[in-house]
Every structure is written in C-alpha cells, then in structure tokens.
C-alpha cells in the first residue's frame, strides 16, 4: 500500500482547465471536457481510497470571466461568476458520484435546493467521513478571487496542503507566455513571492497562506497524476512555503 504525506488536501482547480479547447487557437469549444473530468475524478477516487480527505474549489473561467465582462458592473460580474462556480461544482459532483465517490457541494450563497450551506465544522465532518466537499460560490462576496477564497477555505478545514492545479506547470518569475526569460521555481517562500511581485496567486492569497503556514503545491492540471504525487509528498511543480528555505530553480 502506497503511503501518503498529506491526509487532508485542498484542491483548487481552474475552471478554464476543465473546458474543451480548440487545439490550434486555444479558444473554448465546450465548457466541459468529459475526458478531463474523468481523469481528475479517477485520481481523486484513488487518493480517497488511500485515505486522503479532500476539499475542492473550482474557478469559473470556463463559463464566465467577470473581470472581462465589458460593461457589467464589477460586483454584478462577480455575482455571475459565483453562480458559474456553482454550475462547475454540481457537474464535478456528478462526475465523482459516477465513480462511487459520495461528494458534497457546499455553497457560500444560499441555494438550498442544490447544495448544503457552508459550515466549516460540518465540512470537516464530511471530509473525515470520506466524503469530499466541493465549495461553490467562492467566499460569497464580490472582489474576492477563488484563489483567495480557496486559501481561506483550506485554512478553515485545517488542510495539510493546498494543491493549485492550473494551466501552468508551476510558479515562474514572470508570465512565461509573455516573458521568454521567465524561470520556474522548484521551491519558493511566500515572502519571496510577495517581495518579487510574482503573480501566481493574488497577493491577498499569498498573505493568508503565509500567515496560516499552509504549503501550496502548484502544478499543471494536464499532468493528472500530479494530484496523487503531491499528496504522497513527491516533488511536482512548485512548492510554495512559509518555511525559511532557499529558493530553488529547476
């Protein structure tokens, strides 16, 4: 039996990464890629069978990108984004249930016909009983990204680690799509991220994670096995930590 390093993990998924895209243009063709959903939920089931408890939060980039909603009031746009995350969470719950994983959706915005109201103590009870909890609607208020809301929820459920699965394979010194000189870190501290103005997460998310002492492992979602490797303590992507360590590059 393989052993795990982290018994309670918080997985933050990019909504955009769940979409089916045109291989040439990168434009979203369908809001959900069933093959991606199948791969991710298969890995989560494997980890759950190994005794790992999961909290999960999903962004809404596959449905609505509020900050680009031209002409839409920002608060209204963020409300629309919250509803989009609820759609993603219900779809993800269905995919997990089809794998035999009895996941629960909790939402920060009341919608009792669809999901449980958020309560961190009840969330911990579900997770400890082997039922992953999928958190919808971010923090329930505008102007707060799902990255920041994810760090808050990870802290509330006392997660051992936060797994950031996005379209980029780690934390870079700059946007690798725009800066060819950007370098990828193997390990870096929160303080270095803040001091160097690294944009892998919102500054507020970095600050909360640093204060709580939770480690973040950032990696590319397309490497689905990285989820399992990360909870087992294997080196994947970039480890962001509050520990007093030297930064290390690949």
Task: Say whether pLDDT at 177 is over 90.
Answer: no
- The mean pLDDT of the chain is 92
Six-digit token string for 201? 């997460």
Task: Say whether pLDDT at 70 is over 80.
Answer: no
Task: Say whether pLDDT at 1 is over 60.
Answer: no
pLDDT, position 66: 66
Residue 33 makes CB contacts below 8 A (sequence gap 6+) with: 18, 19, 20, 21
Residue 191: pLDDT band (50, 70, 90) is confident
pLDDT, position 101: 98
pLDDT, position 148: 93
Task: Say whether pLDDT at 68 is over 80.
Answer: no
Task: Say whether pLDDT at 2 is over 80.
Answer: no
Strand partners, 104: 133
pLDDT digits (tens, 9 = 90+) for 16-27: 888 998 888 878
Task: Say whether pLDDT at 162 is over 80.
Answer: yes
pTM above 0.75, yes or no: yes
pLDDT digits (tens, 9 = 90+) for 218-236: 998 888 899 999 999 998 9
pLDDT, position 67: 61
pLDDT, position 166: 82
Strand partners, 15: none
Strand, helix or coil at 54? strand
Class of 8-249 in CATH: alpha beta
Q: Tell me if 95 sits within 8 A of 43, measured CB to CB.
A: no
The Cα–Cα gap between 177 and 175 comes to 5
Q: Is 56 exposed, middle or buried (0-12, 13-18, 19+ CB in 10 A)?
A: buried
Residue 151: pLDDT band (50, 70, 90) is very high
pLDDT, position 132: 98
pLDDT digits (tens, 9 = 90+) for 88-124: 999 999 999 999 999 999 999 999 999 999 999 999 9
Pairing of strands 8-13, 53-58: parallel
Could you state, in order of their start, the residue ranges of all structural domains in the chain? 8-249
């Amino acid at each position: 039996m393989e052993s795990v390093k982290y018994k309670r993990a918080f997985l933050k998924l990019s909504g955009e990464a769940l979409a089916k895209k045109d291989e040439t243009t990168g434009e979203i063709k369908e809001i959900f890629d069933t093959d991606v959903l199948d791969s991710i939920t298969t890995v989560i089931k494997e980890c759950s069978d190994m005794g790992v408890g999961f909290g999960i939060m999903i962004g809404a980039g596959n449905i609505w990108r509020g900050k680009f909603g031209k002409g839409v009031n920002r608060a209204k746009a963020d409300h629309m984004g919250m509803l989009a995350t609820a759609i993603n969470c219900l779809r993800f719950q269905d995919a997990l249930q089809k794998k035999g994983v009895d996941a629960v959706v909790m939402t920060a915005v009341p919608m009792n016909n669809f999901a449980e109201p958020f309560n961190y103590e009840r969330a911990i009870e579900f997770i400890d009983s082997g039922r992953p909890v999928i958190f919808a609607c971010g923090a329930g208020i505008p102007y707060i990204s799902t990255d920041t809301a994810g760090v808050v929820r990870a802290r509330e459920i006392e997660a051992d680690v936060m797994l950031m699965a996005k379209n980029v394979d780690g934390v870079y010194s700059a946007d690798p799509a725009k800066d060819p000189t950007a370098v990828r870190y193997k390990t870096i501290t929160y303080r270095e991220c803040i001091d160097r103005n690294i944009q892998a997460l919102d500054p507020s998310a970095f600050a909360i994670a640093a204060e709580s002492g939770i480690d973040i492992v950032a990696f590319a979602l397309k490497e689905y096995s990285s989820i399992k490797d990360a909870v087992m303590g294997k080196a994947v992507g970039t480890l962001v930590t509050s520990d007093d360590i030297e930064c290390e590059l690949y």
